[in-house]
Structure 1
Amino acid sequence: MYINGTQKAFYSDPLVLFFSIHRFDFGSFYPAGGGDGSTCMIGEDLGMGYNINVPWEHGKCGDADYIAVWDHTLIPVAEAYNPDMILTVHSLCISILIELNNLGEIV
């Protein structure tokens, strides 16, 4: 399940705070489709406000941008939420894994 699948699984759940930092390119880069990954995807029903997306356009962000979004948005929100547990979901495009392996197989 990619990150937008995780987002959808908890989209209406106020017991889970979800955030994602990802390349977006105005919806043309994965996780494009149906607005997934855009800033307007904030949750629904009881989960409204518990879903935060930080979409980077064309991969144009430097270290200072990345640190700023953590320091000024994500960490303060996470601290206010005061979670009992933190889970991370990481993804790497399968095509990159295939390119990295000379045999074209995922190892």
Structure 2
Amino acid sequence: MVCSNEPGYYEDGSFGVRIENLVVVEERDTPFRYAGQQYMGFRRLTLVPIQAKMVDASLLSPSELAWLDGYHEEVWREVAPRLQEHPALLEWLRANTRPLAEQLAARA
């Protein structure tokens, strides 16, 4: 089954921010299978960088920062090989998938 994962924040009458990726539901091998139960998980189908300029890094915990950097690493690893013949797009992708600290330093 394919569905969308849409975490977001909405300020009533003001604005909203949403991050959306398509995911596919698939069986997962987990270390804790209670009574041999089958567990399901998600695998991302769409990979788009999250804009660093929309992130207030001071609000992120170390694990949230690690998740964001790991997500961007996955985006780079999976998408960059498809852009080898498009140098401008590849450059844009590299700039937008660097670790968050590097992206913020480049903005300063």
Do the two structures share a fold, i.e. TM-score over 0.5? no
- Which structure's residues are more often strand, by fraction? 2
When the two structures are superposed, what TM-score results if normalisation uses the length of structure 2? 0.31
When the two structures are superposed, what TM-score results if normalisation uses the length of structure 1? 0.31
- Which structure's residues are more often helix, by fraction? 2
Larger radius of gyration: 2
